[in-house]
């Protein structure tokens, strides 16, 4: 699709120095995880726009791009259902001890067939409280799924009004109330200066000892050191992560040694259907930029008004 409109080249490196040598003649940058820094943006003399393969744009220096009047676009809707389903898969895995039960069978711990051990005892979802931090499209989709399981849903989002919360069927509360009252806490926020490290030791200590934490948003939102301590010392019952402070995480990450944590490698978005939508949307946005039109999913709207980044 894109090849009909432009010459497509694959970068030979994702480091800053490597990209500096390659961006001089590019019109549009399509990026997944590489960091697009101010130096790279300044070196791309012909640059018309940047399209992020995904929702978050925390790996792009949006301020520097905006200063040059260049578009930044993302693809906000391609994986809403996929991430919501993965979030709920993690929630169910925690509630029913799926990973531990699977390991027990595969390691031939045959005693479980005659006397079920306490560590495999699960908990039912009906009547439990799900606390959602952030109420964007993904968390709204998670809330709908939770309600089909008979869960009560609380939400914390400083940008969500009471009327909207009522329409969504969620109880709008402050963060402390959510942490203290939820059986499951699921994080759905972008990575910003406001959300960096927003779940640390103080917040984890406010949760129930029987509660679980789920993060499918961005790793640095959660202080992993504090989470490890909380899991090891029993401040909370367990956690499930699809994202990490460092990706890929170090091989000796202490979380790997714990039985009360479920880990997946940033694949919440990764379904056949979502990937097709993503590729199509990225190509469409790039074509619009190449033709001099603003993208449909413009991140830095100041560019349209001729304003510089704040």
DSSP letter for 298, please.
B
Sign (positive/negative) of CA torsion 277, 278, 279, 284?
positive
Q: Which of 63, 68, 266, 277 is catalytic?
A: 266
SS3 156: strand
Closest CA to 124 of 96, 104, 100, 152: 96
Tokens representing residue 12 in the block: 């030979």
Catalytic annotation on 145?
Answer: no
| 5 vs 231: CA distance, rounded Å | 52
SS3 136: coil
CB 242 within 8 A of CB 90: yes
Q: Which of 218, 245, 285, 288 is catalytic?
A: 218
| 110 vs 105: CA distance, rounded Å | 7
Chain centre to alpha carbon of residue 163 = 26
Closest CA to 152 of 185, 126, 179, 124: 126
Half-sphere exposure of 59 (CA within 13 A, CB side): 22
Catalytic annotation on 247?
Answer: yes
CB 241 within 8 A of CB 215: yes
CB 128 within 8 A of CB 183: yes
Q: 2 has which bridge partners?
A: none
Q: Which of 5, 144, 205, 247 is catalytic?
A: 247
- Residue 10 burial (10 A CB sphere; 0-12, 13-18, 19+): exposed
| 227 vs 1: CA distance, rounded Å | 44
Query: What is the set of active-site residues?
Result: 218, 247, 266
């Amino acid at each position: 699709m894109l090849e009909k409109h432009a010459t497509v080249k694959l970068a030979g490196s994702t480091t800053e120095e490597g990209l500096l040598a390659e961006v001089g003649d590019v019109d549009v940058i399509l990026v997944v995880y590489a960091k697009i820094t101010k130096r790279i943006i300044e070196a791309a003399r012909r640059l018309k726009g940047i399209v992020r393969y995904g929702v978050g744009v925390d790996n792009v220096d949006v301020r520097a791009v905006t200063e040059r009047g260049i578009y930044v676009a993302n693809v906000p809707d391609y994986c809403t259902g996929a991430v919501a389903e993965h979030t709920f898969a993690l929630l169910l895995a925690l509630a029913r001890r799926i990973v531990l039960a699977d390991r027990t069978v595969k390691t031939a711990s045959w005693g479980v067939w005659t006397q079920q051990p306490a560590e495999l005892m699960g908990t039912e979802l009906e009547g439990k409280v799900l606390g959602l931090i952030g109420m964007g499209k993904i968390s709204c989709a998670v809330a709908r799924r939770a309600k089909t399981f008979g869960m009560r849903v609380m939400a914390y989002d400083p940008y969500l009004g009471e009327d909207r919360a009522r329409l969504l069927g969620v109880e709008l509360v402050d963060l402390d109330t959510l942490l203290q009252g939820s059986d499951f806490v699921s994080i759905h926020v972008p990575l910003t200066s406001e959300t960096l490290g927003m779940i640390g030791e103080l917040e984890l200590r406010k949760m129930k000892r029987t509660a679980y934490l789920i993060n499918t948003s961005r790793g640095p939102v959660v202080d992993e050191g504090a989470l490890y301590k909380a899991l090891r010392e029993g401040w909370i019952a367990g956690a499930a992560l699809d994202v990490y402070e460092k990706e890929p995480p170090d091989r000796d990450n202490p979380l790997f040694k714990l039985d009360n944590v479920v880990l997946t490698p940033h694949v919440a978005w990764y379904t056949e259907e979502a990937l097709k939508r993503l590729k199509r949307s990225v190509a469409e946005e790039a074509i619009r930029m190449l033709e001099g039109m603003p993208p449909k999913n413009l991140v830095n709207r100041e560019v349209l008004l001729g304003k510089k980044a704040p």
